[in-house]
Amino acid sequence: RYAYVNGSYIHHEEASVHIEDRGFQFGDSIYEVVYLHKGRLIDQDPHLDRMERSLGEIGMEMPMSRAAMKLIIQEMVRKNRLKTGLVYIQVTRGSSTRDFPFPKTYRPTVVMTARRMPVFDPKKALKAIKVKSVEDIRWGRCDIKTTQLLAAAFSKQIALDDGFDDAWMVDQEGFVTEGTSNNAWIVTKEGKLKTRKADHDILNGITRQCIIRLAKNKGMEISEEAFTIEEALNAKEAFVTSASACLKPVTQINDQTVGNGEVGLISSEIAQLYADFLEG
């Protein structure tokens, strides 16, 4: 396996960054994860657009041109002989003396890794998950894709320790924000899709945006609106979406099943729509 670090492709085990790197010290860094499906990078530009936006929100620029970034991504795919998997891209504010203020001049650290993954194929049974609701203890700018992920890791661990697969985080008003690394959806009794609107409280998933588009094209009704755990438990179906998981049905929340506890028809239909999109 190869990793990319600041201009060099090196063996993954030997790749490293400086101990004073602000990504390491403060989580002062931005990342993206792009899914590669049978050799095709899925939504590469939207992911790079979001990276540019995230960087902009913390006062940074893209560390290189879009074309250069794409070349390195492509080279990572080639060097790692990746057909289906994930490309991880991280840009930090570089290393400097440990101090909170953003340094006036800095040299960003750019890291990429690649990892194999199975092909997303909803024709095989979709893997359903059980989620536990936990208080959303993250910061107020969850729209920025930073590597400051302790609250998400902490919440996921609580869920795993209790025998669940993930956590659904809930804001102060009792509304679900999102999963620890995915967007949350429900299908109401009336067959309407619901997912929280993209504000500062969630990451606006590229998969989320894609599925909104695909479902609208199919004439499905979607409302970008927050829902509570109670609403989700009264819903017909629930699922999560992300670049790495694509779509996973949620069949249990806390100690109750969603709908009849089986993978729902609409979740399956949307998974198939997304799979068709992946095929191009």
> Minimum Å distance from CB 10 to ligand PLP?
25
Which residue numbers are catalytic? 145
DSSP state of 245: T
> Minimum Å distance from CB 84 to ligand PLP?
16
Q: Which C-beta is closer to ligand PLP: that of 86 or that of 106?
A: 86
Q: Which C-beta is closer to ligand PLP: that of 62 or that of 198?
A: 198
- Write down how long the chain is: 280
- Give buried/exposed letters for 42-80 (b at 16+ CB in 10 A, else e): bbbebbbebbbebbeeeebebbeeeeebeebbeebbeeb
> Minimum Å distance from CB 33 to ligand PLP?
6
Q: Which C-beta is closer to ligand PLP: that of 77 or that of 245?
A: 245
Q: Which C-beta is closer to ligand PLP: that of 94 or that of 212?
A: 212
> Minimum Å distance from CB 11 to ligand PLP?
26
Range 157-163 contact pairs with CB under 8 angstroms and sequence separation of 24 or more? 158/132, 158/134, 159/131, 159/132, 159/134, 162/132, 163/130
* Listed residue (120, 160, 155) closest to 247, CA to CA: 120
